[in-house]
Amino acid sequence: MNPTLDSKHQFLSLERNSDSNQETDQHPIKKKRKRIIWLDIAKGIAMIAVVFGHNMPDYVLHVKENRFWYDFLYWWHMPLFFLIAGFFLKPINLRDIQRVIAFLKKRVTPLLRSYFIAGLLLITGYKFIHNKSITYSLIYVLKLFYGGKTLTHYTTIFWYPETYILGIIGTTVIISLIRFKPLQLIIAAYFVYWSTSYTQLTSFKAFGVVTAPWDMDVAVLVMAYMLIGYNMFYFGKHYLTKWYVFLPSFVIVGWLFIQLKTLRLAFGLFMRSHQFSGYYQNVPFTHVQLALMVGLVPIFCSLTVFGISRIIAYSLGFTQLFAKIVLSPVRLIAKTLFVTGNHTLIIMYMHKIVLDVLDITQVVSSFWVQALIAVAVPLLIGMAYKKFQRTQVGEQLKSMIQSPVAKPQENDKL
């Protein structure tokens, strides 16, 4: 077996310098961090689920008996990213201005840069694809600064980097000020309870849309998941993929899925639109029950995905030729998901424009093929870009746009 997948080292995998899951708030890291194979595979699974969720056919979305697939994906694919983000947050000394600045440069600045660059490119693309006016596009650019639900079309997914940025800042402040872990979890529970206590904040309105700037209200729930993820990894990082954690989670998720499919359970967890609702056997959830569902269901689903990812990753540990041949289909899936998990940000940004172009051109009509292309195109572009970054020209360009403190930080943060 490959030692990187032995139980003793199951959290360590490939050396690379292209993602920041392992990044901390420390000063520039001298040694390259190890990758967690199964965790990147889990991110790849979640990313594909996001694309599927944004490309659901009408017979799923608009037929009550089939909608369970759509609702089920939204139970976990976005919360999983926020839970994972919490795994690698670290407390910092907030009184040390240099440490705070270093944290912001390493964790926030690259995301802000990608947010505005991707936003401008997508707005430009939308203008030419749909023949929009200059005025329309300029107003669209202004919406980038306010964010929230003012962002539409190709940038609807931008609520994710917005709340991710606010989430890592807010969560880092909390874990830096409050070191008592049970209190952190109490705060997370309160955030979930508060987030499920209202339908819409009416205090904010911009561009004719009622929405908080940068989805600040959604960021509260994001911080809850990050706090939970931070404590999950702190206390149980060696148990996240153990069979005695995976199997109970799998059974619970399986039971919930059956209840959903048979229409006994209805549960919606749509973070961006802030829609949380549910009932069981036609009895609506109370506020406490709804908060428990919003807080716990994504955790059980994520633990199930982690366990499945660990099983898939296990195939990469075999070194014997016969085993490699027999397991080649599983190994191909594992490698594909691993690479996808390392390029989530560009896929997150680009998949909607790819889906729109496919819809306009009618090149393919298959839901599965459309989703595959929407993942593959950004993935190939991301891989090509990272390969370019390793060239001499790419290194020179990178050094020109990054400060010395931020230099070790990579762009794929999510």
pTM: 0.87
Only one residue has tokens 């009184």, namely: 95
For residue 272, being part of any structural domain is answered with yes
> Residue 198's pLDDT band (boundaries 50, 70, 90)?
confident
Classify residue 407: in a domain, yes or no.
no
Residue 24 lies in a domain: yes
Confidence of residue 258 (pLDDT cuts 50, 70, 90): very high
The pLDDT tens digits for 303-336 are 999 999 999 999 998 888 888 888 899 999 999 9
* Predicted local confidence at residue 233, as pLDDT: 93
Range among 57-66, 153-162, 313-322 with highest mean pLDDT value: 153-162
408 within domain boundaries: no
- Residue 410: inside a domain: no
Residue 3's pLDDT is 40
pLDDT confidence of residue 59 = 81
Quick one: how far is CA 252 from the chain centroid? 23
pLDDT recorded at residue 402: 57
- At 27 the pLDDT is 43
Percent of the chain with pLDDT over 70: 87
Q: How far is CA 329 from CA 3, 335, 338, 348, 369, in A?
A: 22, 10, 14, 26, 19
Query: Which one has a higher pLDDT value, 232 or 322?
Result: 232
Higher pLDDT, 230 or 400: 230
Do the domain assignments include residue 361? yes
pLDDT, tens only, 68-123: 999 999 999 999 999 999 999 999 999 999 999 999 999 999 999 999 999 999 99
- Identify whether 413 is part of a domain: no
The pLDDT assigned to 164 comes to 97
pLDDT at 236 (0 to 100): 86
Tally of domains within the chain: 1
Q: Which residue has the higher pLDDT, 157 or 35?
A: 157
Per-residue pLDDT at 71: 95
Domain for residue 40, yes or no?
yes
Find the domain containing 184 and state its range. 3-401
Share the mean pLDDT of the chain: 87
SS (HEC) of 133-163 = CHHHHHHHHHHHHHCHHHCCHHHHHHHHHHH
- Least confident piece of the model among 122-131, 248-257, 310-319: 310-319
Q: How many CB atoms lie within 10 A of CB 291?
A: 21
pLDDT of residue 61: 82
**For the segment 383-407, what is each residue's pLDDT rounded down to a tens digit?**
999 888 888 776 766 666 554 443 4
Which of the pair, 201 or 150, is modelled with greater confidence? 150
| pLDDT, position 394 | 66
Of the two residues 1 and 193, the one the predictor is more confident about is: 193
3-state secondary structure the chain: CCHHHCHHHCCCCCECCCCCCCCCCCCCCCCCCECCHHHHHHHHHHHHHHHHHCCCCHHHHCCCCCCHHHHHHHHHHHHHHHHHHHHCCCCCCCCCHHHHHHHHHHHHHHHHHHHHHHHHHHHHHHHHHCCCCHHHHHHHHHHHHHCHHHCCHHHHHHHHHHHHHHHHHHHHHHHHHCCCHHHHHHHHHHHHHHHCCCCCCCCCEECCEECCHHHHHHHHHHHHHHHHHHHHHHHHCCCCCCHHHHHHHHHHHHHHHHHHHCCCEEEEEECCCCEEEEEECCEECCHHHHHHHHHHHHHHHHHHHHHHHHHHHHHHHCCCHHHHHHCHHHHHHHHHHHHHHCCHHHHHHHHHHHHHHHHHHCCCCCHHHHHHHHHHHHHHHHHHHHHHHCCHHHHHHHHHHCCCCCCCCCCCCC
